[in-house]
Amino acid sequence: MMNEEHKLSRRQVISGLGASLAVAAVGPVFGAEAGAAGAAADPLEDPTKKYPRPPFKSQQQPWPGLAGQMDPKPDHGEKSYKGSGRLKGRKALITGGDSGMGRAAAIAYAREGADVAINYLPAEEADAREVIALIKAAGQKGVAIPGDLRDEAFCKKLVEETVRQLGGLDIVVSNAARQQTRKSILELTTEDFDATMKTNIYAPFWIIKAALPHLKPGSAIIGTTSEQATDPSEDLYDYAQTKAATTNYVRSLAKQLAPKGIRVNGVAPGPIWTPLQVSGGATQEKLVKFGGDTPMMRPGQPVELASIYVQLADPQASYATGQVYGAAGGKGLP
């Protein structure tokens, strides 16, 4: 009996395989004849030549900076990211969703079928408006909730407002951060240190705590950490240790929440072309050569990490928790 079933299923598998091979064989021909869009493969692209390389123009913006005023403008996938329904019906909150990695994630999530709420600072309204328009153009709900994450009461309000406006919450991307270069620890004031800790360590703590009662099994939490967590720069004394803390909370919380069916993962970017770097995150000296010391010889663009944020939120990645996925152009550890 079991043998019969086994044979039957083997036969079915083989005939199924034959059928799909047949489809594969005629697929391209049919596609060419019909002129179907997307039938042709995307051409291979050399990743070292895909995006701008240093030297970059020296440029400085007041913190927190705007993507729209960078030269060259970062690529967040506005024209390139293609979705395939991987996050259909999901409801996501992304902090720092106006620019950089947060914006790339917001565009990708919307095109994968998710409704998205973004948080940002009021000074970033111009960038945020573009993101909301892109989310809506993807046919999804886009909610803008500006406010300062250094305030615990605001973090709680942010989560409640997201849940109210989206009708739930199942993906939390804690991505906002403060990075200000200081040559010496002697130049780092207590106010500076405090602002970095509040933004990068306290805010995720407050937001995740507020979000947890709303997260059902199958939900995902994603933190943006950095290669700085394991390979800290001499001029990022405060920032680098917050990223070590981020990598650490991802691993701790993943263990704590796995039995509840909630996954917690991190993304660790290398040098990426974002406003954070031109608004005090890097020295001008570092900026003109930005990313040139990676094996790829260029910085990454936010869009190059979009698929990682999607992957970690995708229910198909159900066994991945406590992981940190990197993208650093060949340099750095996750």
Nearer to ligand NAD, 33 or 293 (CB): 293
Q: How far is the CB of 182 from ligand NAD (least distance, A)?
A: 16
Looking at residues 53 to 82 of the shown chain, list those that interact with ligand NAD (rule: CB under 6 A).
Answer: 64-65
Residue 124 interacting with Mg ion (CB under 5 A): yes
Is beta strand 142-146 parallel, antiparallel or unpaired with respect to 115-120?
parallel
| Number of shown-chain residues binding ligand NAD (CB under 6 A) | 29
d(CA 60, CA 37): 42
Is residue 230 within 8 A of residue 334, CB to CB? The reply is yes
Residue 271 interacting with ligand NAD (CB under 6 A): yes
Phi, psi of 51, rounded to the nearest 5 degrees:
-140, 165
**Nearest by Cα to 177 from 113, 241, 86:** 241
What is the set of active-site residues?
239
Residue 110 interacting with ligand NAD (CB under 6 A): no
Residue 175 interacting with ligand NAD (CB under 6 A): yes
Q: Name which of ligand NAD, Mg ion, none residue 56 binds, using a CB cut-off of 5 to 8 Å depending on partner kind.
A: none
3-class SS at 102? Answer: helix
**56, 60, 65, 69 alpha-carbon torsion, rounded to 10°:** -60
Nearer to ligand NAD, 199 or 219 (CB): 199
Is residue 108 within 8 A of residue 138, CB to CB? The reply is no
d(CA 159, CA 208): 9
Q: How far is the CB of 83 from ligand NAD (least distance, A)?
A: 21
Residue 285 CB partners (closer than 8 Å, separation 6+) = none
Residue 266 interacting with ligand NAD (CB under 6 A): no
Residue whose structure tokens are 């960038």? 127
Residue 241 interacting with ligand NAD (CB under 6 A): no
Q: Name which of Mg ion, ligand NAD, none residue 223 binds, using a CB cut-off of 5 to 8 Å depending on partner kind.
A: none
Residue 150 interacting with ligand NAD (CB under 6 A): yes
Residue 130 interacting with Mg ion (CB under 5 A): no
Residue 222 interacting with ligand NAD (CB under 6 A): no
Here the tokens at position 297 are 């010889």
Residue 116's CB: how many other CB atoms inside 10 A? Answer: 31
Q: Name which of Mg ion, ligand NAD, none residue 276 binds, using a CB cut-off of 5 to 8 Å depending on partner kind.
A: ligand NAD
Residue 200 interacting with Mg ion (CB under 5 A): no
**Nearest by Cα to 235 from 313, 181, 180:** 181
Residue 331 interacting with ligand NAD (CB under 6 A): no
| 45-53, 136-144, 209-217, 275-283 -> range binding ligand NAD (CB under 6 A) | 275-283
3-class SS at 269? Answer: strand
Residue 149 interacting with ligand NAD (CB under 6 A): yes
Is residue 106 within 8 A of residue 94, CB to CB? The reply is yes
Residue 98 interacting with Mg ion (CB under 5 A): yes
Q: How far is the CB of 299 from Mg ion (least distance, A)?
A: 17
Residue nearest Mg ion (C-beta atom): 99
Here the tokens at position 246 are 């981020």
d(CA 264, CA 323): 8
- Which residues of the shown chain bind Mg ion in the complex (CB under 5 A)? 98-99, 124, 275
- Which residues of the shown chain bind ligand NAD in the complex (CB under 6 A)? 64-65, 96, 98-102, 120-121, 124, 148-150, 175-179, 199, 224, 226, 269, 271-272, 274-277
